[in-house]
Amino acid sequence: MTRLYLLRFGEMTLKSPPVRRLLERALRRNLQQRLLQAHIEAVVRSDHGHLYLQVDATGAAATERVVRTTFGITSFSPVVKVEATMDAIVQAGVDLAHEQLRPGQSFAVRPRRTGSHPFSSMEVGRIVGSAVFESLAPQGGVRVDLHAPQWELSVEVRDHWAYLTSSREVGPGGMPYGTQGAILAVLHDTASAAAAWLLMRRGCTLRALLLPGGENQVPVLRAWVPGFKTSRASSTIEGQGWAGVLAEAAALAPKRGAKAIVCGLTFDQMGQTIPKGPLPVFFPLTGFDASRRARLIARVADPDLFLRQLDSGVAAGDDQPPRSGAERAAEALAQGQAQASLI
């Protein structure tokens, strides 16, 4: 038995058609590579604005973990695929409701439609909703609540097929990994790993310079991107200070193909003057207060944590980093490189 997932991506759809195609190919390639590394057999296909992933149902948990840690994917859902006819959509919607909707609960139908069909999105919502309401009446009945339903059925009609789901899980979003230039991250604590993650999320390729303690952050980041290159530093913060560490990083970066350096220092921690060097140095955590920084660090260390935060009522956007600093950093890094056309 197989399971089908619909994968969504956000800002990539805002790019021009040639750039969007390049980014979609990169995302698809990254996903296929990560599935292969996890020994998951899968079929991946795409259309305008979505990827579709089909796997054996027994590997669903491992598949979802891979998808949840793939940069560029904003959300994903297990879906039921049927022909884009009203009868087929209604039957699939009623079947899902009988499986998942309990008597007395409230529900809503959220339709979307792309392509040419003999019905409108509003008609899909009205007809499917009526069928669900009437079919469950003998079991005790359900209520319609379009504002805060306890159960929500999403119906997405795309050309010849319709996809139905009642769940949506979040991904990291951002841009596909490797579509921008390379950065050298100075790793020594959890904050430095979070800073590197922010640039990885913008599509930057990671190289790492390990200070004492940095080796503990390598498996954390490899849960998101396996196999990046590392080098051990000869300088230390206690011995040479940040000036010496950054000088070593600036000398190593060109040898690793990196065009910039990223550190996890916050504004309050930058007590000593950071010397100017030949490469830009990014500090993406400077705009974070202590609470927000702690949430980001926890999410980077445990990709499943964000889902638990959502379940406990934390707002979906509360954990997201401010886009301005990290995004500008990635855009500045990409200037003058072959990948700059992807921005």
Q: For the sheet containing 205-210, what is the strand order?
A: 229-232, 205-210, 182-187, 258-262, 281-282
The per-residue pLDDT for range 178-215, each reduced to its tens digit, is: 999 999 999 999 999 999 999 999 999 999 999 999 99
Q: Which of 308, 76, 325, 337 is nearest to 194 (CA)?
A: 325
**Domains observed in the chain:** 2-74 (3.30.70.1510), 82-165 (3.30.2130.30), 182-342 (3.40.50.620)
Q: How many degrees, rounded to 5, is the angle at CA 195 between CA 193 and CA 199?
A: 110
pLDDT of residue 205: 97
Q: What is the pTM of this model?
A: 0.84
pLDDT of residue 307: 56
Residues of the chain with pLDDT under 70: 270-273, 306-343
Task: Decide: 128 and 119 in contact? Cβ < 8 Å.
Answer: no
pLDDT of residue 241: 84
**3-state DSSP assignment of residue 281:** strand
pLDDT of residue 337: 43
Share of the chain above pLDDT 70, in %: 87
**Which tokens hold the place of 203?**
């599509």
H or E segment and range at residue 218: helix 218-222
- Count CB neighbours of 239 within 10 A: 9
